[in-house]
Amino acid sequence: MLNSILLDGLALAGAGIGAGVAALAAGLGIGRIGSSAVESIARQPSESGKIQTAMLIAAALIEGVALFGVVVCLLIALA
Amino acid sequence: MLNSILLDGLALAGAGIGAGVAALAAGLGIGRIGSSAVESIARQPSESGKIQTAMLIAAALIEGVALFGVVVCLLIALA
Amino acid sequence: MLNSILLDGLALAGAGIGAGVAALAAGLGIGRIGSSAVESIARQPSESGKIQTAMLIAAALIEGVALFGVVVCLLIALA
């Protein structure tokens, strides 16, 4: 009984921290890309289409892993 | 009794820390994008529309993951 | 009995934190690549194709390891 409860506590704590760190990944990564993208558009407004495409590709790659990580933590939390 | 309390303590601690880190992610990421965006608009006022669009896309991607992470922590806290 | 339960708790906690750190890896790495790529496109718009190809190759390498790491954490969580 005690043990079962300890299991749940550790697992839930890890899931919560993991979900936060995965979100941090998206914040740091996409934040840096978006910051550079808006500055690049200001420097070369005529290339805003290409710049936005490259921004979206890189941001989508980060978004995919980060969301996958949060979903894994959600599965741990619901298990 | 003790164990049940320990479970709740660990789970709630993890959920709280995770929610905070997820909010930190949004703060760092969107803060950086917004900062660059306003500076870019000041440098190229005629392109403010394109710059604002790029800012919104990147900020929305971060916001999505961060909110999802906070919701996972909320589920842990309410479980 | 107790030990088996403690094992499970520790394993799940490690899986959650590991999934978050793997996502963080993708965020830091791809974020840096994407940031430099959009700035490079702004500086040399005529070479945007080559720049985007190089960005994609490097980002895909990071994405592969990060996704593999999250999948390993998922396998731990489901075991």
Does residue C2 lie within any of the structural domains? no
* pLDDT single digits (tens) A30-53: 999 999 999 999 999 998 999 999
Q: DSSP 3-state assignment of A33?
A: helix
What pLDDT does C75 receive? 93
What pLDDT does C41 receive? 94
What pLDDT does A15 receive? 92
The ipTM of this complex is 0.86
Range of the domain at B28: 11-78
CA dist., res. C61 & res. A40, Å (int): 25
Does residue B23 lie within any of the structural domains? yes
Does residue B45 lie within any of the structural domains? yes
Residues 25-44, chain A, touching C (beta carbon < 8 A) = 25-33, 35-37, 39-41, 43-44
| CATH number of the CATH domain containing A23 | 1.20.20.10
Range B48-54 contact pairs with CB under 8 angstroms and sequence separation of 24 or more:
B50/A41, B50/A45, B50/A48, B50/A52, B51/A38, B51/A41, B51/A42, B53/A52, B54/A34, B54/A37, B54/A38, B54/A41, B54/A48, B54/A51, B54/A52, B54/A55
What pLDDT does B1 receive? 55
Q: Which residues of C touch A24 (CB under 8 A)?
A: 20, 24, 27
- Overall number of domains in chain A: 1
CB pair distance less than 8 Å for A58 and C63 = no
Does residue B66 lie within any of the structural domains? yes
CB pair distance less than 8 Å for A36 and C36 = yes
Chains in contact with A, where contact means 3 or more Cβ–Cβ distances below 8 Å, are B, C
Collect all residues with Cβ–Cβ distance below 8 Å to B5 and sequence separation of at least 6.
none
- pTM attached to this predicted model: 0.88
